[in-house]
Amino acid sequence: MYDWLLFLHVLAAFALVATVVIFSAFAFGAVREPRVLTVANVLWAVGGLGTLVLGIWLAIYVDGYEVWDGWIIAAIVLWAIANELGRRAQAGFIAAPGRRGEEVAPALPRNAALMHWLRSGIVLALLVVMVYKPGA
Amino acid sequence: MLVGALVLAGAAMALAWRNGSAPLARLSYRALLLGAIPSWILMRAGAEWIASKEDLTADSDLSWISIGFTTADAGIVVLLVATLCAGLALRRARRNEGAAGLGRASAVLVSLLVVAYVVVIWAMTTKPI
């Protein structure tokens, strides 16, 4: 049970990072094909839900961890901030979609790119907290 | 980053081979060349580093270590072939020569890599023996 919870939790985290990578390509000027954008947004939704639900489940399941441990609270707060930044980034990217077959991506709203890069930083911080578990 | 770049490349190439879209083929090719290959180098270097630090080697009897090293080392060959196919598909798409076969080959190889890396994630997290 623990193995599957951990595997699915980590897999969900990979989905989150995959979204960050795809959005980074768009932020660097890659053509924003709407269907690729949809793939990224679905990965973010699945990864976001998976990391939170499975992470809390793990915290309850594993002896020695509690949901109110400082590093877990920090991770949940970072997760919430990343999601809000992600929501704003996605809104900006969707508002300026690419068109099928176009060679050059249209200009991206500056705020959307900023929200994306902030989200990327928060996701990185989240990974650091998960790996090092400060205070655990 | 490696898995993310592969997902991006696979999705873009899968869409590109259906309509011969040069921009999507280019996105896939660049995701492989500028994203996946450098990420693979980082991943492999990091793996060697942590294996050395924890005194684990590719010759270890631990199956999860073997799965990781085998998949990583075979994966670079597949990744390079997929990148080559994507590059050729892009060139053909730009010339309107029809790049469906190469695009499909690249997308299939990338999909196989993603599946293989999911298995590796499973092995790394559950550490079966």
| Best CA proximity match to B8, nearest among A31, A29, A33, A22 | A22
Residue type, A102: E
Q: What is the pLDDT of residue B61?
A: 74
A102 shares contact with chain B (CB less than 8 Å):
yes
Chosen from B7, B37, B96 to mutate, greatest number of chain A CBs within 10 A: B7
Domain boundaries, chain B: 2-126
CA distances from A48 to A7, A42, A120, B103 (A): 15, 10, 14, 31
Q: What is the pLDDT of residue B64?
A: 81
Which comes out higher in pLDDT, residue A98 or A131?
A131
Q: Read off the pTM.
A: 0.85
The model's confidence at residue A13, banded by pLDDT at 50, 70 and 90, is: very high
Tokens of A5: 């919870």
This model of the complex carries an ipTM of: 0.82
Q: What is the pLDDT of residue B5?
A: 92
Instruction: Give the tens place of pLDDT for each residue, B82-94.
Output: 999 888 888 887 7
Instruction: Give the tens place of pLDDT for each residue, A89-128.
Output: 888 877 765 555 555 566 677 788 889 999 999 999 999 9
- Residue A15 distance to chain B (closest CA, Å): 8
Answer yes or no: do A36 and B15 touch at CB < 8 A.
Answer: yes
Instruction: Give the tens place of pLDDT for each residue, B13-23.
Output: 888 777 767 78
Answer yes or no: do B27 and A33 touch at CB < 8 A.
Answer: yes
A35 shares contact with chain B (CB less than 8 Å):
yes
Q: What is the pLDDT of residue B98?
A: 67
Q: What is the pLDDT of residue B105?
A: 86
Contact B92, B16 (CB under 8 A): no
